[in-house]
């Protein structure tokens, strides 16, 4: 049934594009129906897949001469990320309820993006995975370029260029792997068992891993992320941070690590303590964690704070992957889910609930608005989201980052120590944004309340979206086994042999 998430989303996108123009309500409700249907399928697939390993959903020959199959399958990691995508899709539609410009086209691109993401998470054929990966880039560009705000053309172009450069690196690596393996299949499992030479893996792994990691926001290739997030319309930044960055991290794991496990082996020499690609990428990950957090601390634009926080939180995913141990990699996958939900919620609050009413994202201006009184719902939603983002216990971020830290500690204690600094700075920047944007102490000017127009009331889609995303983070934080029981066996299988 999980495969139908893909078909449903693409069919929904096609129908949206064909809907008559000017009927915004119809477009909205139809998009919501498709997204809810996708979430329903994702939940059903998640529940049905509990306790199962990798399950092939569909396997049809596609380009027989090259051994390309239309092969969709799902293991625990896929199921968790499909669930995340379903959640993000529903929340994205809810927070796009006020889009009036070319509504049906907006949702067509939106659903196409969702379909592509579902496709990546469920593909077990390299060629197919790459096709879905590319499909996801195109709607992203248009969502930002047409419906975006601050410097949208620049941001859209930057995002597209980074994505294409990353894709090109991936493509070169994959073609080389296909050619070198001599196998007549592009299936992930077959290639992983093809016994690629170690020397080949040594240069191919960093190529493919970096290609994917660009989209995961790995420092120093992260610069597309903050500008892209800020320029994107709310739903698109939610998807960008919530699921698109996960595509990159997922590619690193599913393709990079499982196809080229020997790429992580030691080089045989070490330079200033760095003796393997694993050390290199872990270093970049911890730098990203701390750098993203410090830069977030210095931002004056509310949305940039969240944008850089994504760089920092995604650093935990990459660090978790580089631990190469059970607990760290489980933490990485859980962090993908956790960050997807929390970042989506944060962008929704900043972009939709606050910005669409105040028309400013400057913290200095928000400070004078006393939003905790005028928009208490936004303030308290941000308190919850901020607590989750800080990694306070009881929210998904705590369990995920804790596992990554434990894993990193087991691998190399100093990774964990530096990343721990990033967590502390994370508390600081979240707290600073919360104080400035909602709970500032600046005395209101006496004319403020007469002159300032009343802010529009909070609408039901916003409340539903906040409850959905906040509830997901809380549920996973309070009872992490919901996801851990599914992730752990999949990670174990992946670590155990042949990548898959």
Partner 1 sequence: MSGIPVLTVLTALPLMGAAIALVAGKHARAVALATTLAGLALALTVWTEIPADGSMGLVERAAWAPSLGIEYHLGVDGLGALMLVLSALVTLMSVDAAHRVHRQPGLYFGLVLVLEAGLFGSFTALNFFHWFLFWELSLIPAFFLIKLWGGARRGPAATQFFVYTMAGSVALLVSFLAVFLSTGSMDFGRLTEWASTGQLEQMVTAHLGSGLMGWPVMLWLSVGVLAGFAVKVPMFPFHTWLPAAYAEAPSPVTMLLTGAMSKMGVYGLLRIAIPLFAHQIAQIRTPLLVLAVATVVMGAWAAAAQKDLKRIFAYSSVNHLGYCLLAIFALAVPAAGAAAAASQAFALNGVILQMFNHGLTAAALFWFVAMIQTRTGGPRGINDFGGLRKPAPVLAGLMGITLFSSLGLPGLNGFVGEFLIFRGVFPLAWVAAAVSVLGLLVTAAVILTVIQKVFSGPAPERWASFPDLHHGERLAMAPVIGLMLLVGLLPQLIVDSVNPTVQNLLAHWRF
Residue closer to partner 1, measured from CB, 181 or 430: 430
351: which DSSP letter?
I
Q: How many angstroms from the chain centroid is the CA of residue 144? A: 17
Applying CB under 8 A, which of residues 22, 376, 444, 497 lies at the interface with partner 1? 376
Ranges within 328-357 binding partner 1 (CB under 8 A):
330
Residue closer to partner 1, measured from CB, 305 or 327: 327
Q: Is 498 in the site for partner 1 (CB under 8 A)?
A: no
Applying CB under 8 A, which of residues 12, 173, 228, 480 lies at the interface with partner 1? 480
- Do residues 363 and 303 lie in contact, with contact meaning Cβ atoms separated by under 8 Å? no
Supply the minimum distance, in Å, between the C-beta of residue 441 and partner 1.
4
* Token pair listed for 362: 């400057």
SS3 313: helix
Type and span of the H or E element at 206: helix 198-215
Applying CB under 8 A, which of residues 205, 409, 415, 429 lies at the interface with partner 1? 409
- Do residues 60 and 316 lie in contact, with contact meaning Cβ atoms separated by under 8 Å? no
Residue closer to partner 1, measured from CB, 39 or 329: 329
Burial 45-61 (b: 16+ CB within 10 A, else e): bbeebeeeebeebeeee
**What distance in Å separates the CA atoms of residue 286 and residue 319, rounded to the nearest whole number?**
7
Ranges within 51-70 binding partner 1 (CB under 8 A):
none
Q: Is 294 in the site for partner 1 (CB under 8 A)?
A: no
Tokens 């590619």 belong to 251
Supply the minimum distance, in Å, between the C-beta of residue 405 and partner 1.
7
Q: Is 419 in the site for partner 1 (CB under 8 A)?
A: no
DSSP annotation string for 149-189? -TTHHHHHHHHHHHHHHHHHHHHHHHHHHHHHH--S--BHH
Supply the minimum distance, in Å, between the C-beta of residue 450 and partner 1.
20
Residue closer to partner 1, measured from CB, 325 or 360: 325
Stretch that binds partner 1, among 208-216, 230-238, 337-345, 474-482 (CB under 8 A): 474-482
Nearest to 407 by CA among 476, 316, 346, 473: 316
Q: Is 377 in the site for partner 1 (CB under 8 A)?
A: no
Stretch that binds partner 1, among 88-96, 119-127, 310-318, 393-401 (CB under 8 A): 393-401
Q: Is 392 in the site for partner 1 (CB under 8 A)?
A: yes
Q: Is 424 in the site for partner 1 (CB under 8 A)?
A: yes
Q: Is 484 in the site for partner 1 (CB under 8 A)?
A: yes
**What distance in Å separates the CA atoms of residue 74 and residue 121, rounded to the nearest whole number?**
8
Q: Is 460 in the site for partner 1 (CB under 8 A)?
A: no
Angle, helices 413-437 vs 302-323, to 10°: value is 160
Supply the minimum distance, in Å, between the C-beta of residue 286 and partner 1.
16
Applying CB under 8 A, which of residues 17, 26, 43, 410 lies at the interface with partner 1? 410
Number of residues that bind partner 1 (CB under 8 A): 29
Residue closer to partner 1, measured from CB, 172 or 421: 421
497: which residues sit within 8 A by CB, 6+ positions away?
none
Q: Is 449 in the site for partner 1 (CB under 8 A)?
A: no
- Do residues 242 and 229 lie in contact, with contact meaning Cβ atoms separated by under 8 Å? no
* Token pair listed for 185: 């299949």
Nearest to 36 by CA among 128, 101, 119, 114: 114
Q: Is 486 in the site for partner 1 (CB under 8 A)?
A: no
Applying CB under 8 A, which of residues 402, 455, 463, 493 lies at the interface with partner 1? 402
**What distance in Å separates the CA atoms of residue 119 and residue 133, rounded to the nearest whole number?**
8
Q: Is 239 in the site for partner 1 (CB under 8 A)?
A: no
Q: Is 414 in the site for partner 1 (CB under 8 A)?
A: no
Q: Which residues bind partner 1 (CB under 8 A)?
A: 326-327, 330, 372, 376, 383, 387, 392-394, 399, 402-403, 405-406, 409-410, 420, 424, 427, 431, 435, 439, 441, 479-481, 484, 488
């Amino acid at each position: 049934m999980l495969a139908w998430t893909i078909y449903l989303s693409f069919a929904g996108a096609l129908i949206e594009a064909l809907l008559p123009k000017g009927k915004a309500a119809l477009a909205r409700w139809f998009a919501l129906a498709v997204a809810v249907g996708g979430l329903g399928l994702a939940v059903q697939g998640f529940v049905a897949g509990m306790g199962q390993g990798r399950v092939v959903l569909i396997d049809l020959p596609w380009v027989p001469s090259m051994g390309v199959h239309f092969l969709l399958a799902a293991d625990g990691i896929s199921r968790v990320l499909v669930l995340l995508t379903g959640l993000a899709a529903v929340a994205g539609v809810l927070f796009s309820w006020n889009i009036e410009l070319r509504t049906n086209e907006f949702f067509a691109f939106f659903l196409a993006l969702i379909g592509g993401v579902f496709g990546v998470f469920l593909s077990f054929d390299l060629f197919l995975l790459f096709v879905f990966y590319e499909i996801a880039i195109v709607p992203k560009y248009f969502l930002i370029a047409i419906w975006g705000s601050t410097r949208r053309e620049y941001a859209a172009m930057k995002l597209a260029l980074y994505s294409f450069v990353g894709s090109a690196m991936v493509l070169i690596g994959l073609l080389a792997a296909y050619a070198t393996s001599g196998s007549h299949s592009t299936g992930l499992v077959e290639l992983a068992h093809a016994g690629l030479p170690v020397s080949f893996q040594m240069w191919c792994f960093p190529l493919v891993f970096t290609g994917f990691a660009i989209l995961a926001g790995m420092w120093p290739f992260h610069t597309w992320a903050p500008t892209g997030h800020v320029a994107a319309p709310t739903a698109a930044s939610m998807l960008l941070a919530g699921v698109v960055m996960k595509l990159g991290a997922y590619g690193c794991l599913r393709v990079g690590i499982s196809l080229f496990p020997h790429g992580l082996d030691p080089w045989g020499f070490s330079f200033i303590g760095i003796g393997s690609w694993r050390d290199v990428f872990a270093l970049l990950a911890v730098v990203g964690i701390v750098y993203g957090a410090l830069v977030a601390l210095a931002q004056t634009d509310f949305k940039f704070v969240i944008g850089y926080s994504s760089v920092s939180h995604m650093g935990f995913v990459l660090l978790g992957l580089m631990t190469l141990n059970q607990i760290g990699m489980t933490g990485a996958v859980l962090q993908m889910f956790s960050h997807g939900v929390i970042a989506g919620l944060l962008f929704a609050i900043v972009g939709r609930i606050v910005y669409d009413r105040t028309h400013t994202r400057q913290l200095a201006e928000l400070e004078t608005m006393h939003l905790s009184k005028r928009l208490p719902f936004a303030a308290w939603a941000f308190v919850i989201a901020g607590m989750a983002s800080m990694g306070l216990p009881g929210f998904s971020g705590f369990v995920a980052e804790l596992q990554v830290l434990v894993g990193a500690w087991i691998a190399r204690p100093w990774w964990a120590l530096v990343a721990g600094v990033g967590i502390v700075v994370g508390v600081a920047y979240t707290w600073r944004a919360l104080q400035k944007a909602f709970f500032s102490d600046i005395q209101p000017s006496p004319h403020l309340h007469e002159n300032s127009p009343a802010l529009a009331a909070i609408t039901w889609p916003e409340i539903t979206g906040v409850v959905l995303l906040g509830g997901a983070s809380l549920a996973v934080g309070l009872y992490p086994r919901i996801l851990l029981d599914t992730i752990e066996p999949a990670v174990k299988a992946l670590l155990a042999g042949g990548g898959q």
